[in-house]
Amino acid sequence: MSHADPRPTFYLTTPIYYANARPHVGSAYTTLVADTVARFKRMQGYDVAFLTGTDEHGENIARAAAKVGISPKELVDRNSAIFRALWDELGIGYTHFIRTTSSDHLRAVRRLLLRARDAGHVYKSFYQGRYCVHDNLYVTDSSEPADCPLCGRPAELVSEENYFFKLSAFQDRLMKLYEEQPDFIRPPFRRNEILRWVESGLRDISVSRKTVKWGLPWPDDPEHVIYVWYDALTSYLSGIGYGDDELQWEKYWPAQLHLIGKEIIRFHCVYWPAFLMAAEEPLPKCIFAHGWLLFEQQKMSKSKGNVAYPEPIARTVGADALRYYLLREVSFGQDGNFSHDALLTRYNSDLANGLGNLANRTLSMIERYCAGEIPAASPQATGEPEKALAGAVAGTIRTAIEQYEDLSFSRALEAIWSAVAQVDGYLTSQRPWTLAEDPAQRARLETVLYHAAESIRIIVALAHPSLPEATAKIWGQMGQFSRLGELRLDQLSWGGLRPGTKIGELAAVFPRVEKSEVLEKIAIMEEEILKPKQTPAAAPSGTPAAAPAPAAAAPAKPGKIGIDDFLKVEMRVGQVKSAEKVVGADKLLKVMVDIGDEMRQIVAGIATVYSPEQLVGRKVIVVCNLEPRKLRGVESNGMIVAASAAPDGQPTLAGFLEDVPVGARLK
């Protein structure tokens, strides 16, 4: 690196999701929360690494693939793409995506395991017990029939020679860790749960499987595969370059925050720190276990058949509406109910009638009464109501930041929405529409509108981590050209709105909806998602579709393509890392492009216009899901998008005027 980034780092992760089915609202929950934290931390001046990914090994994956008659690799390729497409659709700004079938990951797992083995923490022995293939959990160490405590299914009898990890040897060190670092496990009641469990005694655990074939081979003993949780947990290291890109790994590790659901707390709070201790690697700072989203009174879960999907919600009322509802309605850490009906009620009351309406009516008055320019507040016309409003909004900045910092999203939003109500009340009592009728009240009118607009600016900035898309739109409507996500919340204070700023074009960001109509649309779209796809490898109802097809898209007219056809083309922002001429071909360059989670070799016919030096560092648009092909014997894996200008068809590379992160999807 040529110059060091002076910002402090913050590394956070979601669990990596089993790639045996498509994500539902429950699986999206952790990711939406993580995205909110990532955005908040960026707005606090941190250099944030945000990892998510897919967990692609284990018996549950192999069985799901066998059920639909395809290979495990095909299944996970398909489902991992569905996860990524959903995260893109929901506007998730992850910076790293790890797949446990990637070669980088394999190297990292071997490294961690060998370090533990070489330090004497792994041994071979005979195992007999009950194992749940669905949750990859050792249920008991006896052959007596037992049900899995997580999913309730009968656990299967397993007896074989295995490698064991000396978990029992770490009991004291773990207890010491929980004592010395009380925030290692949050919330506190989860910490107590783990303390009690560890206190009651730890047994060594088997970390290899002979019967399972779909997994990472054990180093030097390929008859065994590595236990899927050892494999999966290591993704938190491999995702940021462990054993591969040491600079990056050292920059971000240890993670500040692992966000997880409460059912996987033992793996994270006991096994994971012990695996790291055994390999003498630093420990993460905090593991936060949230509750479950319940749907029809039970954990939302594919196997129970009680799931809601995020796409229909995003396509009807927007991804921000889903985020807002989940963050506001569920007290983070506790279980919470999910219902489409309650979501739409919140949408209409808090978003359409609340923030959306407040922004729209204030900016419309500025357009009408002030020729579309932010007016100035005059000191003479500023009185008690203004001081009270500015004081309240300053208080909101403090409270919202404190609550976000504490991961109390519901409280942060409550505080921000109480400011929305306050501004609403201020407008109702100051009646700018009446002031506008009397030219003698001009200074007063402008003062009132300035105060309302400045309050909205602050509200919008504070709400940005939770509602990224809508707040950015309002920001633009307020004539703000800076990137809202780059604004520093810790430097936010009253008075930042510049009088004279020309406001942008106005449009309602949260149009009011008719609940019954939207509910019906959502139901149709959900059905569409669950329909078997008419492809040779079609999955039966309820299993993943071949591609993330937008549900209920209208059939395309002749000569046109539907949005679903367009979405099949996966275009991403890439950055050229190196380029060289292809020997014997005047027009071709061999270019290595970073597309976010992998490096692609692409052969591009642009050598007549671009020299290799001109390309290095440049951001380009890459079509990522083209069949690989060979050009002059050199493999090309994707395409760089360029305009071909008449009359000679010379290429001009497509790009961006604004800065855009590598890996971002175009759509």
Residue from 78, 299, 340, 346 in contact with ligand MSP (CB under 6 A):
299
Phi-psi region of 559 (alpha: psi -120 to 50; beta: other; left: phi over 0): left
Identify each DSSP E strand in 252-370 by its residue range.
257-261, 287-290, 293-295, 298-299, 336-337
Read off the DSSP letter of residue 332. Answer: B
- Choice between 55 and 281, CB closer to ligand MSP: 55
* Residue 463 binds ligand MSP (CB under 6 A): no
* Residue 55 binds ligand MSP (CB under 6 A): yes
Q: Are 278 and 147 in contact (CB under 8 A)?
A: no
- Closest separation between CB of residue 29 and ligand MSP, Å? 5
- Closest separation between CB of residue 496 and ligand MSP, Å? 37
* Residue 604 binds ligand MSP (CB under 6 A): no
- Closest separation between CB of residue 305 and ligand MSP, Å? 13
- Closest separation between CB of residue 597 and ligand MSP, Å? 17
Total residues found in the chain within this entry = 667
Phi-psi region of 649 (alpha: psi -120 to 50; beta: other; left: phi over 0): left
- Choice between 16 and 445, CB closer to ligand MSP: 16
Residue from 22, 30, 56, 404 in contact with ligand MSP (CB under 6 A):
30
* Residue 50 binds ligand MSP (CB under 6 A): no
- Closest separation between CB of residue 31 and ligand MSP, Å? 8
Give Dmax over CA atoms of the chain in angstroms: 91
Residue from 292, 325, 409, 426 in contact with ligand MSP (CB under 6 A):
292
Stretch of 148-156, 229-237, 376-384, 605-613 lying at the interface with ligand MSP (CB under 6 A): 229-237
Q: Which of residues 491-550 bind ligand MSP (CB under 6 A)?
A: none
- Closest separation between CB of residue 599 and ligand MSP, Å? 24
Q: Note the Cα 479 to chain centre separation in Å.
A: 29
What are phi and psi for residue 256, nearest 5 degrees? -80, -30
Closest-CA residue to 112 (of 295, 273, 267) = 273
- Closest separation between CB of residue 20 and ligand MSP, Å? 8
* Residue 60 binds ligand MSP (CB under 6 A): no
Closest-CA residue to 267 (of 230, 299, 300, 238) = 230
Stretch of 27-35, 111-119, 617-625, 653-661 lying at the interface with ligand MSP (CB under 6 A): 27-35
- State whether the Cα torsion 231-233-237-241 is positive or negative: positive
What are phi and psi for residue 433, nearest 5 degrees? -65, -30
Stretch of 91-99, 294-302, 375-383, 641-649 lying at the interface with ligand MSP (CB under 6 A): 294-302
Stretch of 218-226, 232-240, 430-438, 444-452 lying at the interface with ligand MSP (CB under 6 A): 232-240
Q: Which of residues 301-330 bind ligand MSP (CB under 6 A)?
A: 301
What is the size of the binding site for ligand MSP (CB under 6 A)? 20
Closest-CA residue to 346 (of 428, 425, 419, 414) = 414
- Choice between 264 and 593, CB closer to ligand MSP: 264
Stretch of 168-176, 293-301, 395-403, 477-485 lying at the interface with ligand MSP (CB under 6 A): 293-301
CA angle 270, 276, 281 (to 5 degrees): 150
- The β-bridge partners of 593 are 576, 600
Q: Which of residues 258-277 bind ligand MSP (CB under 6 A)?
A: 260-261, 264
- Choice between 150 and 376, CB closer to ligand MSP: 150
CA distance 197 to 568: 48
Do β-strands 221-226 and 137-140 pair in parallel, antiparallel, or remain unpaired?
unpaired
CA distance 34 to 407: 10
- Closest separation between CB of residue 257 and ligand MSP, Å? 13
List all residues 6 or more positions away from 329 whose beta carbon is below 8 Å from its beta carbon: 336, 337, 342, 346, 410
- Closest separation between CB of residue 291 and ligand MSP, Å? 7
- Closest separation between CB of residue 152 and ligand MSP, Å? 15
Residue from 133, 233, 401, 448 in contact with ligand MSP (CB under 6 A):
233
Q: Which of residues 191-210 bind ligand MSP (CB under 6 A)?
A: none
Stretch of 23-31, 69-77, 555-563, 652-660 lying at the interface with ligand MSP (CB under 6 A): 23-31
- Choice between 386 and 526, CB closer to ligand MSP: 526
* Residue 96 binds ligand MSP (CB under 6 A): no
* Residue 185 binds ligand MSP (CB under 6 A): no
Structure tokens at 51: 């990892």
Per-residue b or e along 363-396, where b marks 16 or more CB atoms closer than 10 Å to that residue's CB: bebbeebbebebbbbeeebbeeebeebbeebeeb
Per-residue b or e along 59-75, where b marks 16 or more CB atoms closer than 10 Å to that residue's CB: bbbbebbeebebebeeb
- Closest separation between CB of residue 249 and ligand MSP, Å? 17
Tell me which residue has tokens 């991992």: 80
- Choice between 64 and 293, CB closer to ligand MSP: 293
- Choice between 235 and 348, CB closer to ligand MSP: 235
List all residues 6 or more positions away from 403 whose beta carbon is below 8 Å from its beta carbon: 409, 411, 412, 415
- Choice between 293 and 582, CB closer to ligand MSP: 293
Closest-CA residue to 275 (of 330, 212, 338, 202) = 202
- Closest separation between CB of residue 397 and ligand MSP, Å? 30
* Residue 101 binds ligand MSP (CB under 6 A): no
CA distance 276 to 242: 13
- Closest separation between CB of residue 130 and ligand MSP, Å? 19
Binding mask 1-20 for ligand MSP (x = CB under 6 A): --------------xxxx--
- State whether the Cα torsion 102-104-106-108 is positive or negative: negative
* Residue 343 binds ligand MSP (CB under 6 A): no
- Closest separation between CB of residue 59 and ligand MSP, Å? 13
Closest-CA residue to 158 (of 220, 66, 227, 222) = 227
- Closest separation between CB of residue 248 and ligand MSP, Å? 19
- Choice between 308 and 419, CB closer to ligand MSP: 308
Chain residues binding ligand MSP by CB under 6 A are 15-18, 26-27, 29-30, 55, 232-233, 235, 260-261, 264, 292-293, 299-301
